[in-house]
Amino acid sequence: MWLSEYNNITMKHDYKVLDIIPVIGLGTWEMNGRDCINSVVKALDSGYRHIDTAQIYGNEKEVGRAISESGLKREDIFLTTKIATVNLTSARIKQSFSESLERLTTGYVDLLLIHWPTAAMNLEECLSTMFELKENGTVNNVGVSNFDPILFIKSISLGPVITNQVKFTPYHDEFKNMKIAKEHNKIITAYSPLGRGGIAKDIFLERIGSKYGKTASQVSLRWLIQQGNVSVIPKANNEAHQKENLDIFDFELSDEDMSDIRQLSKKHAWQ
Active site residues: 57
How far apart, in whole angstroms, are the C-alpha atoms of residue 164 and residue 183? 14
DSSP 129: H
Pairing, β 142-145 against β 161-167:
parallel
Is-contact 45 70, C-beta < 8 A? yes
Candidates 88, 23, 270; CA nearest to 166 is 270
Question: Residue 29 carries which side chain, given as an amino acid letter?
Answer: W
* Residue 21, amino acid: I
Residue 145 host element (H or E): strand 142-145
DSSP conformational letter for 112: E
How far is it, in rounded angstroms, from Cα 76 to Cα 79?
10
- Percentages helix, strand, coil for the chain, rounded to the nearest 5? 45, 15, 35
| 3-class DSSP assignment, residue 140 | coil
